[in-house]
């Protein structure tokens, strides 16, 4: 059974991460930065640091790294590795924290 979790959007966190990181975490570009959820908002992905990567875009035009992520050219595991490195944890721990925030027992 998938837990029902009320999703609270946290725009302050997303803005803070963009400012803190300052470039695309995949390619290093400083232009058109967007927050990309590793587990999508539609799949109940939370707005926590471990679930958000800063990627260049814009995704809506399929451009940049964010667009590549939407097209499946960048794997979820690769994104978890990027975010885990930023947070100083393992990719497995990163994924565990995201799943906990989604309401799963892990």
pLDDT in tens, 1-48: 344 444 447 889 989 999 999 999 999 999 999 999 999 988 989 999
**Per-residue pLDDT averaged across 40-68, rounded?**
93
Mean pLDDT of 85-105: 96
As a whole number, mean pLDDT of residues 64-90 equals 96
What pLDDT score does 3 carry?
Answer: 44
In 3D space, the residue among 49, 2, 56 whose CA is nearest the CA of residue 34 turns out to be 56
């Amino acid at each position: 059974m998938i837990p029902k979790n009320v999703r609270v959007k946290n725009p302050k966190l997303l803005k803070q991460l963009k400012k803190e990181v300052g470039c695309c975490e995949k390619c290093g570009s400083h232009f058109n930065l967007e927050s990309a959820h590793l587990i999508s908002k539609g799949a109940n992905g939370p707005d926590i640091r471990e679930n958000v990567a800063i990627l260049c875009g814009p995704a809506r035009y399929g451009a940049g790294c964010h667009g590549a992520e939407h097209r499946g050219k960048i794997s979820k595991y690769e994104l978890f590795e990027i975010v885990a490195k930023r947070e100083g944890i393992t990719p497995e721990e990163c994924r565990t924290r995201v799943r906990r925030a989604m309401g799963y027992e892990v």
